[in-house]
Structure 1
Amino acid sequence: MYASVNEGLANETRDVTINIRAKKNQRDLIDRAAELQGKSRSEFMLESAQKTAQDVLLDQRFFGLDEVKFQQFVELLDEPPTHHEQLHKLLTTKAPWD
């Protein structure tokens, strides 16, 4: 449904302008990051904004269920978790940086 972040950008003519105002330190930070990726400020900002917009929209996905399926879903959520040894080990092992 949503195009990938880079899909079509190279082949499409950009026909609208987006203007934003920023603080100098924000611009400088963006410029450094863009340079590291070999991109212009505009390319970097547009790709970053597009990816964030896609993430926001995808996080808001709706799925509808009829009454029977919804009840089954709720029952599955309400069931106590099953014991999973590897998951228990993962969650109880101290992180190397702690």
Structure 2
Amino acid sequence: MPRLAERKDHPLSMRLPDADIAIIDRAAMLRGRSRTDFVRDAAVRAAEDVLMETLPVRMSAASFDAFMEALSGPPVPVPEMIELIRRPAPWETSATSED
């Protein structure tokens, strides 16, 4: 008798109010995705964010000392950041010039 292939997908079922479904469907449509793909990607992204916030960072003692030295040293200006901070915000400039 042939063996059935082991299924690797796991179903996930949720009960959501109509308003939640409507907003999910609208966002999925705007991205050109199915509801399932949209929700799966959003859930996985949220899970990865939580894991990244809680996973310890491991490094050697020498690397930790270098990291602490870099943090303890004087700040070093980054020219690109200075230019960005000095640049007027888009709402502070005229989008169209009236000549």
Question: Structure 2-normalised TM-score?
Answer: 0.65
Match of 1:45 among 25, 39, 45: 39
Compared with structure 1, are the counterparts of its residues 25 and 85 closer, same or farther at alpha carbon in structure 2 (3 Å cutoff)? same
In structure 2, give the amino acid aligned to 1:41: R
Q: Which digits, 9 at most, give the CA deviation of each residue in 1:18-75, with x for residues without a partner?
A: 1222222111011112223343322221122123223333444433223332122101
Q: Mark the structure with the bigger radius of gyration.
A: 2
Q: Greater share of helix residues, 1 or 2?
A: 2
Unaligned ranges ≥5, structure 1:
1-12
Give the aligned CA root-mean-square deviation in angstroms: 2.4
In structure 1, give the amino acid aligned to 2:79: E
Count residues with an aligned counterpart: 86
Question: Structure 1-normalised TM-score?
Answer: 0.65
Q: Which residue of 1 aligns with 2:3?
A: none
Instruction: Work out whether 1:90 is the aligned partner of 2:84.
Output: yes
Percent identical among aligned pairs is 31
Unaligned ranges ≥5, structure 2:
1-6, 93-99
